[in-house]
Amino acid sequence: MMRYTCLLWLTSTLVGGSFAAADQDSDLKQFQGKWEVTELVEDGKVVPKEAIQEWLPSGGKFEIVENAIIFVSPHDGKKQVKLFSLDATQYPKGIDLSTRDKKDGSGIYRFDNGSLIICFSDPDESKRPTEFSAKAGSKHLLMVLHRVTERPTVAKIEPAGTTAKVLTDARVAEMLRGSWRYTDNIGALFVTFNADNTFSTVREVTEIRLFQKFFVQTPVSTGKWSVANGKLTFHILTSVQPDRVNKLFEFNVRSISDGDFIFVDYLGRVGQASRVR
- Higher-scoring residue by pLDDT: 79, 224: 224
Count of other CB atoms within 10 angstroms of residue 29: 9
pLDDT at 76 over 70: no
How many angstroms separate the CA atoms of 275 and 214, rounded? 20
CA angle at 134 for the pair 130 and 140, rounded to the nearest 5°: 75
With a pLDDT cut of 70, the percent of the chain lying above it is: 77
**Mean pLDDT for the stretch of residues 112-140:** 88
Amino acid 56: pLDDT: 81
pLDDT-derived band of residue 116, with 50, 70 and 90 as boundaries? very high
What is the CB-side half-sphere exposure of residue 48 using CA atoms within 13 A? Answer: 2
pLDDT-derived band of residue 75, with 50, 70 and 90 as boundaries? low
How many angstroms separate the CA atoms of 86 and 88, rounded? 6
pTM of the model: 0.51
How many angstroms separate the CA atoms of 127 and 225, rounded? 52
Q: What pLDDT digit, counting tens, does each position of 251-264 carry?
A: 998 888 888 888 88
Q: Answer whether 27's CB lies under 8 Å from 86's CB.
A: yes
**Mean pLDDT for the stretch of residues 118-134:** 87
What is the CB-side half-sphere exposure of residue 259 using CA atoms within 13 A? Answer: 0
CA angle at 141 for the pair 136 and 146, rounded to the nearest 5°: 130
